[in-house]
């Protein structure tokens, strides 16, 4: 009998007994603590889900209450795990449910996953109608093809890439050395070319921003060709001029005899001709002047390309490197 009331018997001695429970020889929790020496407390336990009893195979609904033996069986980190051992009310079997939700023994939990169709939603169905049942041979063939592809294509490719990577990154010092050497050589060449350009520009008074072509066989041949063309054109002009003057002289006597006589007189007054014929004297003088001029121009042209007659100044000059 638990000490529910405050009746103190006449032989109760507070010094000796301490409390009414101790006087009665009972625990404060009464009968529920009768297995407390084994670490078991008997509590009222309510089934958290539907189960089938493992012994009688009856369905037991969620919410059925049992007097369960509660025992601490371990820890998940600092969280204690309790087990609740219940006796089936339909048979004599026992089942045990733990606070670790996966652990259940002596019974079977009813599989109650969320069903959207049952709860006003849409059921999930297979979306591909052509997909038949899985053919194990087809699946095997597929996996064999994948294996072959991996062995014959993917692995060699990865190995080739790995080799290439090793080749480029195995010796960074040698690569750096080679690159820097090449850079120095190129820099030296560029500097020499720049100095030669400056020299030519200052020698000919060319603008600083003028870009000079590089000297090679092609540009040399091109420049020579242009120079020859310009020289030929100049010679043609000179000969045409000469012919025109000759023709003018030939038609002079019939065109204007008065002017001719005046010019012939002037020419004779200069004393340049010893001949008595004024026309032939004038002609000889003009032709002589023209020939002298052409000769002097030709001499100039031989020493240097004819700048004034050249259509392309840049084409006539080549760099000396």
In the bound complex, what is the minimum distance in angstroms from residue 67's beta carbon to Zn ion? 15
In the bound complex, what is the minimum distance in angstroms from residue 64's beta carbon to Zn ion? 11
In the bound complex, what is the minimum distance in angstroms from residue 54's beta carbon to Zn ion? 8
Judged by beta carbon, residue 56 or residue 158, the one nearer Zn ion is: 56
Judged by beta carbon, residue 43 or residue 64, the one nearer Zn ion is: 64
Can you state the angle between helices 278-303 and 257-270, rounded to 10 degrees?
70
In the bound complex, what is the minimum distance in angstroms from residue 88's beta carbon to Zn ion? 3
Judged by beta carbon, residue 92 or residue 208, the one nearer Zn ion is: 92
Judged by beta carbon, residue 56 or residue 210, the one nearer Zn ion is: 56
In the bound complex, what is the minimum distance in angstroms from residue 109's beta carbon to Zn ion? 15
Judged by beta carbon, residue 3 or residue 54, the one nearer Zn ion is: 54
Judged by beta carbon, residue 28 or residue 90, the one nearer Zn ion is: 90
In the bound complex, what is the minimum distance in angstroms from residue 52's beta carbon to Zn ion? 9
Site residues, Zn ion (CB under 5 A): 53, 55-56, 88, 90-91, 93
């Amino acid at each position: 009998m638990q000490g529910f009331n405050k009746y103190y018997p006449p032989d109760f001695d507070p010094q000796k007994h301490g409390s009414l429970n101790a006087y009665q020889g009972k625990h404060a929790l009464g009968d529920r603590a009768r297995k407390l020496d084994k670490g078991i407390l008997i509590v009222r336990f309510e089934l958290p889900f539907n189960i089938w009893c493992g012994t009688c195979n009856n369905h037991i609904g969620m919410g059925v209450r049992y007097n369960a033996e509660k025992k601490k069986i371990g820890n998940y980190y600092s969280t204690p795990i309790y087990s609740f051992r219940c006796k089936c009310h339909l048979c004599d079997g026992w089942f045990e449910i733990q606070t670790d939700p996966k652990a259940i023994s002596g019974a079977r939990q009813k599989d109650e996953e969320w069903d959207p169709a049952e709860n006003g939603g849409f059921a999930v169905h297979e979306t591909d109608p052509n997909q038949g049942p899985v053919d194990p041979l087809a699946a095997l063939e597929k996996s064999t093809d994948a294996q072959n592809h991996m062995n014959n294509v993917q692995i060699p490719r990865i190995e080739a890439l790995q080799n290439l990577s090793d080749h480029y990154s195995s010796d960074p010092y040698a690569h750096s050395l080679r690159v820097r050497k090449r850079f120095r050589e190129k820099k030296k060449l560029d500097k020499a070319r720049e100095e030669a350009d400056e020299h030519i520009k200052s020698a000919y008074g060319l603008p600083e921003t003028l870009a000079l072509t590089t000297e090679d066989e092609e540009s040399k041949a091109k420049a020579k060709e242009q120079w020859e063309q310009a020289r030929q054109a100049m010679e043609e002009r000179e000969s045409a001029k000469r012919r025109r003057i000759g023709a003018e002289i030939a038609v002079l006597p019939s065109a204007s005899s008065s002017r001719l006589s005046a010019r012939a007189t002037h020419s004779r007054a200069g004393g340049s001709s010893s001949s008595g014929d004024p026309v032939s004297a004038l002609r000889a003088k003009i032709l002589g002047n023209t020939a002298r001029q052409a000769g002097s121009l030709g001499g100039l042209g031989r020493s240097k390309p004819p700048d004034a007659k050249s259509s392309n100044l840049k084409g006539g000059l080549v760099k000396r490197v």
